[in-house]
């Protein structure tokens, strides 16, 4: 597999596509923003004129898009990708999308004998740039193995996971994001209460990291805030609340009551209202800072 189309060249998709170009794949790239395409053309990709042009002749077509409406429009809309793909090719959506949209794409692609993989990623924009993303793939084992070299070019080969049939990738990613956002709220609460109670942030954070309650978020991810006051605007709150809404929808579809998830979603929606659509994804911690009247910054930073 050498001919790859790539649609959606934002903070995540641009670097991911760049790794494919650098690895020698024959890449055709498309984005509604021509300025996003230009650096990839300079690196050796071909600029597509449209979604259908990007899909035509591709052995694998990858999309990295903001939300389910864009996923559905690109794959199934007028001049859509599914209708332009050749029989035997692979359609790969790496967006964080819904299982319902994924099922519609899979049905339409199946009618054209096109394999479909849902393959959302984790690792933030820094992981996209470094080529260290974790990738969670749903779909047939055969299609996964055919596409594995492509995934390993964009992500960490040890963290490319085939998690089950079509839709399983979307499900795992939504649950991963949900747990991360729950931890964002929990860590913001705990650190703000502790500092207001008179414990130094340095000692509190060190004690929690060394405790049974430690997590990757507490030990590593929240350090963006504690060290630099950086709430990670590379992934904005409009996408955070989109993902949390999809997680709530998923729980409703499978009939599981999720009171904690619903509360965490509302806390993030409150943060989005206060700080704006483009505020960083760790803005729940900022919310607790403001509620407690503290700034959570480690000494010496």
Active site residues: 173
What are the residues facing 221 on neighbouring strands?
none
DSSP-derived 3-state class of residue 17 = helix
The residue among 219, 239, 27 whose CA lies nearest residue 125 is 239
Give the integer Cα–Cα distance in Å for 98 and 100: 5
Give the integer Cα–Cα distance in Å for 27 and 118: 20
DSSP strands (E only) in the chain: 3-7, 26-30, 46-47, 60-63, 90-93, 115-118, 121-122, 133-138, 155-164
Q: Tokens representing 252?
A: 């409703």
In Å, how far are 88, 128, 174, 224 from 283, measured between CA atoms?
Answer: 44, 21, 19, 11
The alpha-carbon radius of gyration of the chain (Å, integer) is 20
């Amino acid at each position: 597999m050498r001919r790859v189309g790539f649609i959606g060249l934002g903070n995540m998709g641009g670097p991911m596509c760049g790794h494919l170009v650098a690895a020698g794949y024959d890449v055709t790239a498309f984005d509604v923003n021509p300025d996003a395409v230009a650096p990839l053309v300079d690196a050796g990709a071909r600029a597509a004129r449209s979604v259908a042009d990007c899909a035509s002749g591709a052995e694998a077509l990858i999309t990295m898009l903001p939300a389910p409406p864009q996923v559905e429009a690109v794959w199934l809309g007028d001049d859509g990708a599914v209708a332009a793909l050749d029989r035997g090719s692979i359609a790969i959506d790496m967006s964080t999308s819904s299982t319902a949209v994924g099922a519609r794409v899979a049905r339409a692609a199946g009618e054209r004998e096109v394999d479909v993989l849902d393959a959302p990623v984790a690792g933030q924009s820094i992981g996209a740039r470094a080529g260290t993303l974790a990738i969670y793939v749903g779909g047939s084992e055969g299609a996964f193995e055919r596409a594995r070299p492509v995934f390993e070019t964009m992500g960490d080969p040890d963290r490319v996971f085939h998690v089950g049939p079509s839709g399983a990738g979307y499900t795992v990613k939504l649950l991963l994001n949900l747990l991360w956002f729950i931890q964002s709220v929990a860590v913001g609460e705990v650190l703000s209460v502790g500092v207001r109670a008179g414990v130094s942030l340095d000692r509190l954070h060190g004690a929690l990291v060394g405790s049974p309650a430690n997590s990757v978020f507490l030990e590593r991810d929240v350090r963006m805030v504690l060290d630099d006051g950086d709430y990670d605007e590379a992934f904005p709150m409009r996408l955070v609340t989109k993902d949390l809404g999809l997680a709530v929808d998923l729980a409703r579809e499978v009939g599981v009551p999720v009171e904690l998830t619903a509360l965490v979603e509302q806390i993030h929606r409150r943060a989005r209202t206060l700080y704006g659509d483009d505020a960083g994804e760790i803005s729940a911690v900022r919310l607790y800072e403001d509620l407690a009247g503290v700034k959570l910054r480690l000494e010496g930073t």
